[in-house]
Amino acid sequence: MADDPWVRKVQQWLNDTYTGVSGWSPVTVDGQTGWTTMYALTRALQHEVGLTALSDNFGTGTLSALTAIGNIGPSTSNANIANIYNIVVGGLYCKGYNGDNGNLDGTWTTTTTAAVTSLQSDIGVPTTGTVSPKVFKALLTMDAYILIGTGTGPVREVQRWMNATYIDKSWFYIIPADGSYSRDVQEALVYAIQDELGVAGANGNYGPGTRAAVAAQPNITVGSSDAAGHYWVRLFQAALRFNTYDGSSQMRV
């Protein structure tokens, strides 16, 4: 893996800024993006939003603390905003986006806005140019939001549609948009089916309750269509695509 000078700069900034903070450990400065660097950025963010028990997990506590601050952007007001900006830019660099032309100086520039907008477009969510808590969570993962490896365009189109459609649901977190039908994507599909059918105790597992709810639905046939605000047919089309059948082109965002 190549040594990326911008990633190296992020790693060095993290060590310079957070070494000695309780619950944070220095990272190797090697210019290579990986979970170790993403976890370090996550713990740095938790420290900046006032959490004392730092963790590799970007969980509900981190999301709640960010929600209290609001979307992160050029007009965000917070005592620690300069470092939070640097964490955003650092995450963008690690994801391969130009967050600020190699700078990590605690400012939010038009380049940062453009990078965030590009990230949101790749994910499939509205391009606001500011970072919501769920987009921040997605930023600090190793998930890809561009087509990679053996991924396919039709699967990526579904992934982006799901991100756009379910982003505001409490149970949904942004899934990869890499064109591959991974376990996380499969779980999100099951959650979506359970949500559509009103399955009690939705948990992302296709168990007896979900099977019974699916069996109770009318058969999907030629001419079937979704009612406003419901996506039963599209979810069936999504499942077809995930299982290498084309389905339909109706899921474009």
What does pTM read for this prediction?
Answer: 0.94
The C-alpha torsion from 146 through 63 and 92 to 187, rounded to 10°, is -20
pLDDT at 253: 42
Adjacent-strand bridge partners of 131: 72
CA 10/CA 157 separation, integer angstroms: 32
pLDDT classification of 172: cutoffs 50, 70, 90: very high
Backbone angles phi, psi at 117, to 5 degrees: -60, -40
Is it the case that residue 246 has pLDDT exceeding 90?
Answer: no
No. of helices (H) and no. of strands (E), the chain: 10, 0
User: What is Dmax (Cα atoms) for the chain?
Assistant: 63
Rg (CA), the chain: 20
Residue 57 parent element (H or E): none
CA 226/CA 215 separation, integer angstroms: 18
- In single-letter form, the type of residue at position 187 comes to E
Is it the case that residue 220 has pLDDT exceeding 90?
Answer: yes
